[in-house]
């Protein structure tokens, strides 16, 4: 009998690697051998911290951007074509070598925008499956965009008062749409956004051409039930929440979160959190990619000081290693009230009893982690899918409040302070959000336990892939 062996090809961003690692972990639990294939740029940083469970192997290849590609700062078309070319060769080599070693690859799973993987899979007659690392709602939005609703969606991008109503999705205004969808309209000259949209179009086209397209989505059945079932010809399978909850063990932190960290972190913040009252701390982080203007960072500082609550704030060092927090005008006052760190183990922070609210950019991993740990949010979206995620959190899951920008595109300190008060101040709205957050936490735990929807859906998927391979 052939042993199940899945190659999991992931882009090197933190937002893709984290769910890919959790998926690998679940598959290994089900007796599948997993090889994670990713680019050298991820290797540099993952090697520092990642623990490798038995049955998991890593393979790194060079996509020609070993220091990492920065969206908006380089030629996206060139990056995709290099990745395509070099990745395809590497993958073909790996598949051949695995077969020769008596350990044939029985399935391929790949994260977004890596359609080259599906093409290599086809040439070897191996089933391939997309791992969608955003909510199912976003998948639908793109699907509609490229299947007849594009004009309607584009028509609202220039008028914030217009709403678009699409089947099974919440009503959306331009501020709820993914940033590159807004900026890729014909009047915009944003080439990176247009390139990204084209890459999504190709992704959908590839799926449409497959005989039995399956998409693994990092969500759970109870969270987006209608959306998951809405596109008949594409099989969206909820295999989330892919959050390292099962490994959380605060007494033995080295075993706690099997995951990767693209950035160095310190650990003294855990002791600091231990010293705080239950539900009293504001956690602030904008994920691994978003870059805020200096003025915006100052406004956040003002908002935190104004709220008079202890805070833990992640400010990543800049590209050249500069610490932005050192330049903050009110650094001393900030240090008296809270703690600024360059990176942290976010799941450990979110699961800490002292956590009261998360001021977040609403990356999908961060959003799911909040749902998993029952933490209400102040939604402060920046780019990509984040505005749509914020819409879901505020109006569908009802676990957060979204900040409003001023005319200069800045969220002022007073507005940040107001939103923190809404969530943590004890008013009716905040109580409701906290209650909803606990409800989603219970449903997420239910989905993630053995025999829950994540377990069942993933097992069914593994069985199907096996049949397809035979």
Residues that bind ligand UDP (CB under 6 A): 13-15, 18, 285, 287-289, 314, 343-347, 363-366, 369
**DSSP class of residue 158?**
T
CB 467, min distance to ligand UDP, A: 33
Region at 388 (left for phi over 0; alpha for psi -120 to 50; beta for the rest): alpha
Burial (CB count within 10 angstroms: exposed 0-12, middle 13-18, buried 19+), residue 159: exposed
Closest CB to ligand UDP among residues 343, 380? 343
Q: How far apart, in whole angstroms, are the C-alpha atoms of residue 168 and residue 149?
A: 14
Q: Which of residues 59 and 317 has its CB atom nearest to ligand UDP in the complex?
A: 317
Closest approach, Cβ 356 to ligand UDP, in A, equals: 18
The answer for residues whose C-beta is within 8 angstroms of residue 345's C-beta and 6 or more apart is 253, 256, 257, 259, 261, 265, 267
User: Considering the complex, what minimum distance in angstroms separates the CB of residue 258 from ligand UDP?
Assistant: 12
Task: Give the single-character DSSP code of 309.
Answer: -
What does residue 176 show for φ and ψ, rounded to 5 degrees? -95, -5
Cβ contact 20:131 at 8 Å? yes
Output 166 or 243, the one with its CB closest to ligand UDP. Answer: 243
Provide the minimum distance between the beta carbon of 374 and ligand UDP in the complex, in angstroms, as a whole number: 15
Taking CA atoms, 106 is separated from 10, 151, 203, 208, in Å, by 17, 41, 22, 22
From the CB of 298, what's the least distance to ligand UDP, in Å?
20
Q: What is the C-alpha separation between 449 and 212, in angstroms, rounded?
A: 28
Q: Which is nearer to ligand UDP, 325 or 466 (CB)?
A: 325
For the CB of residue 25, give the shortest distance to ligand UDP in the complex, in Å.
Answer: 14
CB of 338 to ligand UDP, least distance (A): 15
Q: Can you tell me the distance from the alpha carbon of 37 to that of 128, in angstroms, rounded to the nearest whole number?
A: 14
Which is nearer to ligand UDP, 157 or 288 (by Cβ)?
288
User: What is residue 407's DSSP assignment?
Assistant: T
Helices (H) and strands (E) in the chain, counts: 18, 13
**Burial (CB count <10 Å: 0-12, 13-18, 19+), residue 211:** exposed
Q: CB-wise, 185 or 345, nearer to ligand UDP?
A: 345
In the complex, the smallest distance separating the C-beta of residue 159 from ligand UDP, rounded to whole angstroms, is 28
d(CA 416, CA 304): 8
Start-to-end CA distance of the chain, whole Å, equals: 11
Instruction: Say how far apart CA 380 and CA 388 lie, in whole Å.
Output: 11
Query: In the β-sheet with 56-61, what is the strand arrangement from edge to edge?
Result: 56-61, 33-39, 5-9, 107-111, 128-132, 214-217, 235-238
For ligand UDP, give the closer residue by CB, 260 or 411: 260
In this structure, the dihedral spanned by the alpha carbons of residues 180, 395, 290 and 197, taken in order and rounded to 10 degrees, is: -20
Judged by beta carbon, residue 217 or residue 314, the one nearer ligand UDP is 314
Nearer to ligand UDP, 143 or 373 (CB): 373
| Nearest distance, CB of residue 367 and ligand UDP, angstroms | 7
- Least spacing, CB of residue 61 vs ligand UDP, in Å: 21
Nearer to ligand UDP by Cβ, of 369 and 421: the residue is: 369
SS3 label, residue 27: helix
């Amino acid at each position: 009998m052939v042993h199940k062996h899945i190659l999991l090809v992931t882009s090197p961003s933190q937002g893709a690697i984290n769910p890919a690692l959790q998926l690998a972990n679940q598959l290994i639990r089900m007796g599948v051998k997993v090889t994670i294939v990713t680019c050298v740029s991820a290797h540099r940083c993952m090697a520092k911290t990642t623990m490798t469970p038995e049955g998991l192997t890593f393979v790194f290849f060079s996509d020609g951007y070993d220091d990492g590609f920065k969206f908006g700062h380089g030629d996206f078309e060139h990056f995709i074509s290099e990745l395509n070319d070099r990745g395809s060769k590497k993958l073909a080599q790996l598949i051949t070598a695995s077969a020769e070693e008596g350990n044939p690859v029985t399935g391929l799973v790949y994260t977004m925008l890596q359609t080259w993987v599906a093409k290599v899979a086809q040439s070897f007659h191996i089933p391939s499956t997309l791992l969608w690392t955003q909510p199912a709602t976003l998948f639908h939005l793109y699907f509609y965009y490229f299947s007849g609703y594009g004009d309607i969606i584009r028509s609202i991008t220039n008028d914030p008062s217009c709403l678009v109503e699409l089947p099974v999705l919440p009503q959306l205004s331009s501020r709820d749409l993914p940033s590159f969808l807004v900026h890729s309209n014909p009047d915009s000259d944003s080439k990176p956004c247009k390139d990204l949209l084209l890459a999504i179009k190709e992704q959908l086209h590839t799926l449409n051409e497959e005989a039995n397209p399956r998409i693994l989505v990092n969500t759970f059945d109870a969270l987006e039930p209608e959306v998951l079932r809405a596109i008949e010809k594409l099989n969206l399978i909820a295999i989330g929440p892919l959050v390292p909850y099962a490994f959380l063990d605060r007494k033995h932190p080295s075993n706690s979160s099997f995951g990767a960290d693209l950035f160095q972190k310190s650990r003294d913040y855990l002791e600091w959190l231990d010293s705080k009252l239950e539900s009293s701390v504001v956690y602030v982080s904008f994920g691994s990619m978003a870059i805020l203007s200096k003025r915006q960072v100052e406004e956040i500082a003002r908002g935190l000081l104004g709220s008079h609550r202890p805070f833990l704030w992640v400010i990543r060092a800049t590209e050249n290693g500069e610490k932005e927090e050192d330049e903050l005008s009110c650094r001393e006052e900030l240090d008296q009230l809270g703690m600024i760190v360059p990176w942290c183990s976010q799941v450990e922070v979110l699961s800490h009893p002292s956590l009261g609210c998360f001021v977040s950019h609403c990356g999908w991993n961060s959003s799911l982690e909040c749902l998993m740990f029952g933490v209400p949010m102040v939604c402060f979206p920046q780019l990509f899918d984040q505005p749509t995620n914020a819409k879901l959190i505020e109006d569908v899951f009802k676990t957060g409040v979204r900040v409003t920008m001023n005319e200069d595109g800045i969220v002022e300190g007073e507005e940040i302070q107001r939103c923190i008060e809404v969530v943590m101040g004890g008013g009716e709205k905040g109580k409701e959000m906290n209650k909803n957050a606990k409800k989603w936490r219970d449903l997420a735990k239910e989905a993630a336990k053995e025999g829950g929807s994540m377990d069942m859906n993933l097992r069914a998927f593994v069985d199907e892939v096996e049949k397809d391979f035979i």
